[in-house]
Amino acid sequence: MNPAYAIPAVAVVVLATVLIGGFGLRLSRTTSDFYVASRSVGPGLNAAAISGEYLSAASFLGVAGLLLVHGPDMLWYPVGYTAGYLVLLVFVAAPLRRSGAYTLPDFAEGRLESRQVRMLVSIFVVGAGWLYLVPQLQGAGLTLSLLTGAPRWLGGAVVAAVVILAVAAGGMRSITFVQAFQYWLKLTALLVPAFFLLIAWHRDGGAAPSFPDLPAALLGGAGADQPLATSRAAHPLYATYGLIVATVLGTMGLPHVVVRFYTSPHGRAARRTTLMVLTMVGFFYLLPPVYGWLGRLYAPALSQAHDADATVLLLPGLMVGGVGGDLLGALVAGGAFAAFLSTASGLTMAVAGVLTQDVLPSRGVRHFRFATVLAMAVPFAGTMLVSGVPVADAVGMAFAVSASAFCPLLVLGIWWRRLTPPGAAAGLLLGGGASLLAVGLTVAGVVRSGWLHTLLAWPAVWSVPVGFLAMVLVSLATPGSVPPHTSATMTRLHLPEALTVRRPPPPDAPGTPPARRSRVTGGGR
């Protein structure tokens, strides 16, 4: 990849991100603008923004790399990522918007009227967000290293700086425009090169040569040595089930995805947004398998490389070559940086919101900006300590934690009125805590073989049922702990917006959204 073309492309993406974020700053004047864009984002813009932040480094680079190394079995990644929005549409989207909350901890406190549960949810939101941010920064380091030969940490530092600037400047209002722009950029950055790569494949008559002249930095280690790859090879069927459960059920609890539904004007707009996201995300996921398949034909040596995630970045130069290959490679590099920036922006926004409300001693825009720096500093430090895990696998771990902690909380909190604060806390600690511990042990390499290693590497198969079971059993054992305003809260979650649930907030709940009231009244038509 020619740096003379790729570096200006990345610079243009970074500059556009900053300029569009500055435009959002002009529209951000209130706290509501910073947290939920004043709940005024229409379905089209919101769907593009959600798609932009959801299609992360794992989608842009990781899926193709896993397909190159492991073959068609890895198609479950894009299938699971997309199907997760169908589950979100059916069970969560509209009631979550009607809750009137700003964040997932707000929803937990509003539903269960418990500060203790709120704090637990806050811990898991921050933990899942940081776990998801690490592979975004690692992917940026890989991309910039291929472009310039710079050290891996520099790419992550660039993304961290731009994200802090964009998020701290205008909050949710700002990054909504940024992420919508970046979705269309990412789609173009894969679609246009894929068209020319297929033409090159047809030119070769399907008899693709192998290109051994790969960058030496990629050949430092074998992909099969990675912890998740090892467990997948030993127990492929179980690993597939673990992948499906994590991706399908984890989507609904991802903090940067959930918070965007609070920006919809009403529940109907939230449902329409989700349907549009399904279309946008589904179309995008038709493209990474093309790169993975062409990589197996044209660059099979990458399957034994330390960074098979570079497949998407290298194929234009290998297959097309010349100035055309350099231009296509530059477009892909710009799209890759858009992927890192958009997802990192959404995650940073979600984590900073929770830190501002539940960790820092004071609230407000100034403290939110400080929380933005903190939200990015910790995962950036994590990239210095953890390396070598493929980005799609790392993101899959974050999905497993999200599925285990938040899926039971959201599904039971929305659809089961007998859920109690002790039950919710038990499910979060046993389901979410166990999955978080399993992920940590996997990355640390404490157990490297056998069934125990596989169970730890793919925890969602057992940790999600543990979370559900713990919440149900403990709730049934503590019927006296059902919150006193449960009936009114459940009515609010499931009634159309024309009917509102009105009651005063509990006196000990400073984070309670102001929209909760004491009685049901008929609204206008």
DSSP-assigned beta bridge partners for residue 501 = 520
3-state helix vs strand vs coil in the chain, percent to 5: 80, 0, 20
pLDDT of residue 514: 43
User: Strand 520-522 vs strand 499-501: parallel, antiparallel, or unpaired?
Assistant: antiparallel
Right CATH for 3-388 from 1.10.3720.10, 1.20.1740.10, 3.10.20.30, 1.10.630.10: 1.20.1740.10
| Contacts with 127 (C-beta within 8 Å, 6 or more apart), sequence order | 401, 436
| Amino acid sitting at position 454 | T
Task: Kindly list the distances between the CA atom of residue 473 and the CA atoms of 174, 435, 469, 479, 502, in Å, as whole numbers in the listed order.
Answer: 43, 19, 6, 10, 31
Task: Give me the residue spans of the domains in the chain.
Answer: 3-388
Mean pLDDT by 10 residues, the chain (525 residues): 82 84 59 59 85 84 85 84 84 80 84 93 90 86 81 87 77 76 92 93 69 51 53 77 90 76 75 87 92 87 72 88 89 89 84 83 74 90 73 80 93 94 96 92 79 89 96 96 92 74 48 41 36
pLDDT of residue 331: 93
SS3 236: helix
d(CA 349, CA 187): 23
- Whether 152 and 460 have beta carbons less than 8 Å apart is answered as no
pLDDT of residue 226: 59
Mind giving me the DSSP string for 416-439? -TT--HHHHHHHIIIIIHHHHHHH
pLDDT of residue 475: 97
